[in-house]
């Protein structure tokens, strides 16, 4: 049974059957637009991200569930990186006509599972045919108190990162290499296929006084460069300060690559890179205990030069992934 056999109306009905129901006075999926009660305070946060087959994922490694999960997760992560709490998501999905209906069902499952795990509701979407699988989500959320941009970091602030780095890139390498393995390697694969956005940590770090924050979708090198340039600061990060994911370390020898390189350029870890005033650091470290953990990378400087493990940021950026650039 392909999606073409099923037809658009039947697939839309499947979404309506599966999607959560709105509270009284709201309309979600099934009309021209969703209608939501407006939050009475704070800021409305909006973000959109598209994943494309052959660019962001391969059907050789990703199930439908992984695709749907990841698309919801990367958008919810962007809301967390503003210090916000995601609440609603809409999804546009393009599928080849000969795609099995199971792929569609899997994608829907993945979106709903990820969203439900963060208290986010799927409230609408669009289906289209396309040459490859293309999925674009828009997440809405709310910053109850202050929201945190990329540009507020100041000299003397401490640069920190949640969790660990390099796991998702290691996972991609293992998947591409078809390398089976133990639980440790499974962790790396899971970080690539089913990332966990830092939905608790983002709002907490905002409350604790974070001056700048960004989620690590494109890797530490590229995302640090964005935060530091937007804030007009620099920093020097020692290799020993990098919280390399144990799974990345374990995978690096199998993949014949360098664990530091995975951690710096890998991308898709969806950890939060955050600048904190020095006097809030202890509180932040203790709040993040039992959650993601928080590692100090270094102090931000008025000198805008950025280096990681002794190498200038520009040379790391060259190594990192960029859309529309062919990879060497």
Contact region with a second copy (CB under 8 A), list: 93-101, 179-187, 188-196, 293-301: 93-101
Q: Which one, of 195, 158, 190, lies nearest residue 74 by Cα?
A: 195
Which residues within the stretch 12-31 sit at the binding site for a second copy (CB under 8 A)? Answer: 26-27, 30-31
Considering beta carbons, is residue 206 or 247 the nearer one to a second copy?
206
Site for a second copy, residues 225 to 244, rule: CB under 8 A? 230
Could you tell me if 54 and 22 are in contact, meaning their C-beta atoms sit under 8 angstroms apart? no
Binding residues among 168-187 for a second copy as defined by CB under 8 A: none
Q: Rule CB under 8 A: is residue 324 a binding residue for a second copy?
A: yes
φ, ψ of residue 124 in degrees (nearest 5): 170, 175
Position 129 contacts a second copy (CB under 8 A)? yes
Give CA–CA dist 28/36, Å, rounded. Answer: 8
Ramachandran angles phi, psi of 295, nearest 5°: -110, 140
Task: Tell me how far, at minimum, the Cβ of 5 lies from a second copy, in Å.
Answer: 8
| Segment contacting a second copy by CB under 8 A, of 123-131, 245-253, 259-267, 306-314 | 123-131
Please count the residues of this chain forming the interface with a second copy, following the rule CB under 8 A: 79
9 binds a second copy (CB under 8 A): yes
Binding segment (CB under 8 A) for a second copy, from list 130-138, 165-173, 256-264, 287-295: 130-138
Q: From residue 290, give the alpha-carbon distance in Å to each of 39, 172, 201, 257.
A: 30, 27, 11, 31
Residue 111: both structure tokens together: 């979106």
State the nearest-atom distance from the C-beta of 176 to a second copy, in Å: 18
What phi, psi does 127 have (nearest 5°)? -115, 140
Count of other CB atoms within 10 angstroms of residue 137: 27
Residue 3 or 275: which CB sits closer to a second copy? 3
Q: Does 82 bind a second copy (CB under 8 A)?
A: yes
210 binds a second copy (CB under 8 A): no
Question: Rule CB under 8 A: is residue 270 a binding residue for a second copy?
Answer: no
* 322 lies in the binding site for a second copy (CB under 8 A): yes
* Pairwise CA distance, residues 81 & 83, whole Å: 5
DSSP string, 168-187: HHHHHHHHHHT----HHHHH
- 278 touching a second copy, by CB under 8 A: no
- Considering only residues 13, 23, 102, 126, which one is a binding residue for a second copy as defined by CB under 8 A? 126
Number of residues in the chain:
328
DSSP state string for 48-113? EEEEEBTTTB-TTT--HHHHHHHHHHHHHHHHHTTT-EEEEEEEEEEE-TTSBHHHHHHHHHHHHH
| Binding of a second copy by 8 (CB under 8 A) | yes
Taking CB under 8 A as the binding criterion, the range among 16-24, 122-130, 162-170, 191-199 that sits at the site for a second copy is 122-130
Residues β-bridged to residue 215: 272
SS3 284: helix
In angstroms, the CA 309 to CA 249 distance is 16
Site for a second copy in 36-55 (CB under 8 A): 36-52, 54-55
Q: Which stretch binds a second copy (CB under 8 A): 166-174, 180-188, 241-249, 316-324?
A: 316-324
The residue within the footprint of a second copy, chosen from 85, 103, 143, 320 (CB under 8 A), is: 143
Using the rule CB under 8 A, give the single segment among 80-88, 111-119, 159-167, 237-245 that binds a second copy.
80-88
């Amino acid at each position: 049974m392909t999606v073409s056999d099923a037809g658009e109306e039947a697939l839309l009905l499947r979404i309506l059957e599966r999607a959560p129901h709105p509270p009284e006075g709201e309309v979600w999926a099934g009309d021209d637009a969703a209608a939501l009660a407006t939050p009475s305070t704070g800021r409305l946060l909006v973000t959109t991200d598209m994943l494309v087959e052959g660019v962001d994922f391969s059907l050789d490694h990703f199930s439908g569930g992984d695709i749907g999960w990841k698309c919801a997760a990367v958008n919810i992560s962007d809301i967390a990186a503003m210090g916000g709490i995601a609440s609603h998501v809409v999804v546009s999905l393009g599928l080849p006509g000969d795609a099995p209906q199971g792929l569609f069902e899997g994608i829907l499952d993945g979106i709903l599972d990820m969203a439900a795990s963060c208290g986010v509701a799927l409230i609408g979407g669009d289906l289209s045919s396309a040459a490859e699988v293309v999925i674009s989500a828009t997440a809405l959320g709310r910053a109850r108190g202050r929201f945190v941009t990329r540009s507020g970091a100041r000299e003397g602030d401490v640069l920190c990162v949640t969790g660990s780095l390099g796991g998702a890139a290691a996972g991609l390498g293992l998947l591409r290499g078809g390398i089976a393995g133990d639980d440790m390697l499974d962790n790396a694969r899971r970080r690539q296929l089913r990332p966990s956005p830092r939905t608790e940590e983002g709002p907490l770090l905002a409350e604790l006084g974070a001056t700048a924050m960004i989620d690590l979708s494109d890797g530490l090198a590229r995302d640090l460069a964005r935060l530091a340039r937007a804030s007009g600061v620099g920093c020097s990060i020692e290799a020993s300060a990098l919280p390399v994911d144990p799974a990345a370390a374990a995978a690096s020898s199998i993949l014949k690559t360098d664990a530091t390189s995975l951690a710096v350029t890998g991308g898709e870890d969806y950890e939060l890179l955050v600048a904190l005033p020095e006097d809030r650091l202890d509180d932040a470290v203790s709040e993040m205990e039992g959650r993601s953990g928080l590692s100090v990378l270094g102090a931000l400087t008025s000198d805008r030069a950025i280096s990681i493990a002794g190498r200038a940021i520009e040379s790391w950026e060259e190594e990192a992934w960029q859309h529309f650039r062919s990879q060497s």
